[in-house]
Amino acid sequence: MSAAPEKPAINPVRWQPPPVDPLPDYPLPELTLVPVPGHGPEDVVTDAQGGLWTGLTDGRIVRLGADGAVSVVADTGGRPLGMHVARDGRILVCDSHRGLLALEPSTGELTTLTSTVPVDGVGSASRGRPLRFCSNVTETQDGTIYFTESTSDYHYEWFRAAIMDARGTGGLYRLNSDGTVDTLAGGLYFANGLTVTADGSALVFAETQARRLSKYWLTGPQAGTVTPLAQHLPGMPDNICTGADGRIWVALVCPVNKPADWLAARPPVLRRVMWKLPAALQPQMPSEVWAVAFDPDSGGPVAGIHGRHPRFGQVTGLIERDGRLWLSTIGSDALAHCALPK
């Protein structure tokens, strides 16, 4: 067994967390758990045949067929995170160690789309810096691929270090047909989930640490700009998806951590000391089942689920399929699904 990676030093800055606005108190419907052959199915997407895809902590990518059959299709050798089923049937995969990948479902062959991003904002990926924490990916109707990077400082294994740092080193990127990569938005606080609105007018992306959803406009008079959609969330948004009715579903991995917020606004030396302590003595992520749907225009909450389950929590991804809401997590060896809230 290989040795555990050395814990990195952190470089925190004083940061003022945003205020917190409450969300409606949604009930938790009955959950059905579906085991997967490994830990931490971080995201979940569905293909044209009704199959579900997810990636595990050990690098394996798994498909759950509509008939319930489970198969390991590939192994990235890294840590697969966000996924998207492309228009041509390939599975687009964000891997924290390998970058942005494309998986051929029939053969399991993996192709690297890019492992670097520009240093100066716009330019060729081949002349850029390494893509450190590729987080989520989506595609528009014209085949253009967009993706996020949570932080340029750490891999997934040390995502808590990025939160401790409180530095805006995340970004939103576009992969062009010629293989070059453009930076669309930088300085993001743990950029994460990414989806296209139902009308194709904008991308919606989540910033986990900033606790907000924003729109990057693709069309219209605001094209090329970022505007807020939902701010001051009481939980940490992770992966997101667009529902069949246009709602923007958001996985909230955990509530806002008040001790962590208190530390963020104090001298950075306190977080350096905290980071040196055992993980059990650091601010924790409670295990809750939480997902909320937002109106794509007003940003108002329109549906949701929230509660606790003895064997499932820390929701990091979600997708609709056949009238059910499927949930993924970093805290379990299973996916879960429930009736889709109206």
Residues 47-92 have pLDDT tens digits of 999 999 999 999 999 999 988 899 999 999 999 999 999 999 999 9
Give me the chain's average pLDDT, please.
95
User: 56 in helix, strand or coil?
Assistant: coil
pTM above 0.85, yes or no: yes
CA pair distance 329, 333, nearest whole angstrom: 8
In this prediction, residue 282 carries a pLDDT of 85
> pLDDT tier at 283 (50, 70, 90 boundaries)?
confident
User: Which residues, other chains included, contact 116 with Cβ-Cβ below 8 Å and sequence gap of 6+?
Assistant: 99, 125, 126, 127, 128, 129, 130, 131, 181
3-state secondary structure of 271: helix
Phi, psi values for residue 264, rounded to 5°? -60, -30
With a pLDDT cut of 70, the percent of the chain lying above it is 96
Confidence of residue 284 (pLDDT cuts 50, 70, 90): confident
Cβ partners under 8 Å of residue 304, min gap 6: 23, 24, 26, 290, 291, 292, 293, 341
How much is the average pLDDT of 120-143? 81
pLDDT of residue 257: 92
What pLDDT does residue 125 have? Answer: 44
What pLDDT is recorded for position 120? Answer: 66
Question: What average pLDDT does the segment 225-247 reach?
Answer: 98
For the stretch 152-208, pLDDT in tens is 999 999 999 999 999 999 999 999 989 899 999 999 999 999 999 999 999 999 999
Sign of CA dihedral 143, 83, 163, 248: positive
Fold of 32-339: Neuraminidase (2.120.10)
* Cα angle: 62, vertex 68, 74; to 5 degrees: 15
In angstroms, rounded to a whole number, what is the distance separating the alpha carbons of residues 88 and 28?
A: 36
Other C-beta atoms lying within 10 Å of the C-beta of residue 107: 9
Neighbours of 285 (CB within 10 A): 17
The distance in angstroms from the start CA to the end CA of the chain is 48
3-state DSSP assignment of residue 137: strand
Q: Is the dihedral of CA 48, 133, 206, 139 positive or negative?
A: negative
Confidence label for 119 from pLDDT (cuts 50, 70 and 90):
confident
d(CA 137, CA 327) in angstroms, rounded, equals 17
User: What b-and-e string marks burial along 211-222, b requiring 16 or more CB atoms within 10 Å of the CB?
Assistant: bbbbbbbbeeee
| pLDDT band with cut points at 50, 70 and 90 for residue 127 | low
At residue 1, the pLDDT reads: 39
